[in-house]
Amino acid sequence: MLFVHLWTMSWKQSQFQKSKLKKFVCMNKFAGLLVVLSVAFSSCSTYKKTTSTDNGKIDVTYVQVNDVYEIAPLSGGKEGGMARVATIKQKYLRQNPNSFLIMAGDFLSPSVYNSLRYEGKAIRGKQMVESMNAAGMNFAVFGNHEFDIKESELQERLNESRFQYISSNTFHKSGNQESHFQLTSPDGKRSEIPETYIQTIRDADGTVARIGYIGLTIPFTKVDYVAYTDPLATAKKLYAQLKDSVDAVVAITHQLIADDKILAKELPGLAVILGGHEHDQRFEKVGKVYITKALANAKSAYIVKLAINKKKHKLKVTPGLEQINESVAIDPTTNAVVEKWVGIAEKSYASSGFDAKKIVLQAGEPLEGREIETRRRPTNLTRLIISAVQFASPGADVAIVNSGSIRVDDVLQMPVSQYDIIRTLPFGGGIREIEMKGSLLQKILDAGEKNKGIGGYLLYNENLHYDSTANNWILSNQPINLQKTYKVALTDFLLTGGESKLDFLKPGNPDIIKIDDPEKRSPVLADIRLAIIKYIESRNGALR
Ligand SMILES: [Zn+2]
């Protein structure tokens, strides 16, 4: 545990005016509703009566995770897992009852679980909400991926959540109507997801503080049931509303780090920005405002401590970092929930021919699967996938996979299990073998280049490249002959014409000479993930 970078700031006198509140109420001021969240307000009931005197000092600890798509540990059980997050929260809770667990967005999707069904319904993040509930989550903001799922599915997840959502700039859109998202908790209480949230905390000697929260989401996922307001303008407006009535304003955000830096610059009085969206851990300080983003999939957690000194009008913010690895014990209560869902998922994979726990790659370089890389250039992971397609379709001249089929957005650490392969390509899908004219092949490859940076960027074999001086594509040292027929193996999604700039690629295209019958294809072509596993196994066999 390493605590670095201390800072103090003076507060305006006005920030303390309302902190002289005699009565202590846990109330959601802005929604105008009492929100009963026993987990979020453990501090409310902890100290009812006290005999010591108020020293004017109170501490708060945040345990922050973000971009968590996996409930169970990864890297062969070595890293992450919601049951370890629970343990970290409990550790800080023992030190300070005013410790809160924060999820800075992206947790309901994408996940391989989203393609599975349980009790007649798509799972769609239910496994994550149950795990978060068990781990003692206190506050969450929406990430862009929360809006990947259907409106009715999101509503179910909100209703199941036993933690407080805060959303300053996303609203529920229904026809022309825009309103706060609403939820009905399991005990039947209806509440709104507020734009701001004020939490009143109290410590052992009776010091009371009020903390205001704003929650921001990148307006990225455009769906008909979500309306956004501008994150920065909204934050400035709400901060102005909050600042004089609270002792600190905390921003929980899910947006680009560049936007977090602008936010910190524009609102230098923020206590801290607990952020998400980038997956690779970020730590920044703009002016006096720290910005923290943990590693995706809870491989790390930021620990941010606020020391509020009401008498001296000072706030000290101390950020720290916890690696979530084998040194962190598994919380048995949360683990029971995780194991339940892992069991459900494994049963489902088994019915499709997978043995999820089985290790396929024991050692070697980590595999680069982050979208920022895989959608711009080949990586060792994408080369492995292309090699697997060539293995499954040995007669093909060219193998093509759309980078958007790779959804893991993470670096795969060794050992790699079959589950890791499944979560790398959660949609699965088969491989098609097509004979086509060189002219069509060239058109496909050109479109792939134009899609650089997005999921329509195409990955292909290493003996194929674009020669920018000659302005043509070279396959095995020969320019592609527009009249010649090539055998091409590609993911079956590509043949639907559904990929960006590739709408011409579907059965019926006059330049398609011959198309395979997917009913008659070999089993290894039926699911690209099985092809990858079989390919690695064959390679392992060759090495032995
Ligand atoms: Zn995101």
Whole-number Å distance between alpha carbons of 453 and 471: 21
For ligand 1, the distance from its centroid to the CA atom of residue 221, given in whole angstroms, is: 10
For ligand 1, the distance from its centroid to the CA atom of residue 193, given in whole angstroms, is: 20
Whole-number Å distance between alpha carbons of 296 and 359: 22
For ligand 1, the distance from its centroid to the CA atom of residue 67, given in whole angstroms, is: 7
For ligand 1, the distance from its centroid to the CA atom of residue 146, given in whole angstroms, is: 9
Write the DSSP symbol of residue 330.
Answer: P
Whole-number Å distance between alpha carbons of 111 and 342: 12
Residues 310-343 have pLDDT tens digits of 999 899 999 999 999 999 999 999 999 999 999 9
Task: List CB contacts of 130: < 8 A, sequence separation 6 or more.
Answer: 160, 337, 341
For ligand 1, the distance from its centroid to the CA atom of residue 170, given in whole angstroms, is: 14
With H, G, I as helix, E, B as strand and everything else as coil, classify residue 525.
helix
Q: Are the C-beta atoms of residues 108 and 157 closer than 8 Å to each other?
A: yes
**What is each CA distance from 469 to 174, 348, 450, 465, 474, in whole angstroms?**
53, 50, 18, 12, 12
Q: Are the C-beta atoms of residues 288 and 242 closer than 8 Å to each other?
A: no
Q: Is the dihedral of CA 109, 113, 119, 120 positive or negative?
A: positive
The DSSP H or E segment spanning 253 is strand 248-254
For ligand 1, the distance from its centroid to the CA atom of residue 409, given in whole angstroms, is: 11
One-letter amino acid for residue 428 of the chain: G
For ligand 1, the distance from its centroid to the CA atom of residue 245, given in whole angstroms, is: 31
With H, G, I as helix, E, B as strand and everything else as coil, classify residue 18.
helix
For ligand 1, the distance from its centroid to the CA atom of residue 163, given in whole angstroms, is: 20
Looking at residue 38, its pLDDT comes to 38
For ligand 1, the distance from its centroid to the CA atom of residue 401, given in whole angstroms, is: 24
For ligand 1, the distance from its centroid to the CA atom of residue 278, given in whole angstroms, is: 7
For ligand 1, the distance from its centroid to the CA atom of residue 276, given in whole angstroms, is: 7
For ligand 1, the distance from its centroid to the CA atom of residue 374, given in whole angstroms, is: 17
For ligand 1, the distance from its centroid to the CA atom of residue 256, given in whole angstroms, is: 8
Whole-number Å distance between alpha carbons of 300 and 85: 9
Q: Select from 294, 305, 172 the least CA-distant residue to 250.
A: 305
For ligand 1, the distance from its centroid to the CA atom of residue 231, given in whole angstroms, is: 14
For ligand 1, the distance from its centroid to the CA atom of residue 313, given in whole angstroms, is: 36
Q: Are the C-beta atoms of residues 460 and 445 closer than 8 Å to each other?
A: yes
Q: Are the C-beta atoms of residues 165 and 30 closer than 8 Å to each other?
A: no
For ligand 1, the distance from its centroid to the CA atom of residue 95, given in whole angstroms, is: 31
For ligand 1, the distance from its centroid to the CA atom of residue 109, given in whole angstroms, is: 10
pLDDT in tens, the chain (544 residues): 343 333 333 333 333 333 333 333 333 333 333 333 333 444 444 444 545 689 999 999 999 999 999 999 998 899 999 999 999 999 999 999 999 999 999 999 888 887 788 888 889 999 999 999 999 999 999 999 999 999 999 999 999 999 999 999 999 999 999 999 999 988 899 999 999 999 999 999 999 999 999 999 999 999 999 999 999 999 999 999 999 999 999 999 999 999 999 999 999 999 999 999 999 899 999 999 999 999 999 999 999 999 999 999 899 999 999 999 999 999 999 999 999 999 999 998 898 889 999 999 999 999 999 999 999 999 999 999 999 999 999 999 999 999 999 998 889 999 999 999 999 998 888 999 999 999 999 999 999 999 999 999 999 999 999 999 989 999 999 999 999 999 999 999 999 999 999 999 999 999 999 999 988 888 899 999 999 999 999 998 765 4
With H, G, I as helix, E, B as strand and everything else as coil, classify residue 474.
strand
Give the per-residue SS3 of 300-323: EEEEEEEEEECCCCEEEEEEEEEE
**CA 64, 67, 69 angle in degrees (round to 5)?**
120
CA-based max dimension of the chain: 91
For ligand 1, the distance from its centroid to the CA atom of residue 429, given in whole angstroms, is: 25
For ligand 1, the distance from its centroid to the CA atom of residue 432, given in whole angstroms, is: 32
For ligand 1, the distance from its centroid to the CA atom of residue 350, given in whole angstroms, is: 31
Q: Label residue 124 left, alpha or beta by phi (over 0 means left) and psi (-120 to 50 means alpha).
A: left
For ligand 1, the distance from its centroid to the CA atom of residue 69, given in whole angstroms, is: 11
**CA 200, 204, 210 angle in degrees (round to 5)?**
15
- Strands 137-140 vs 99-103: parallel, antiparallel or unpaired: parallel
Partners of residue 3 on adjacent β-strands: 320
For ligand 1, the distance from its centroid to the CA atom of residue 252, given in whole angstroms, is: 13
For ligand 1, the distance from its centroid to the CA atom of residue 106, given in whole angstroms, is: 6
Q: Are the C-beta atoms of residues 270 and 251 closer than 8 Å to each other?
A: yes
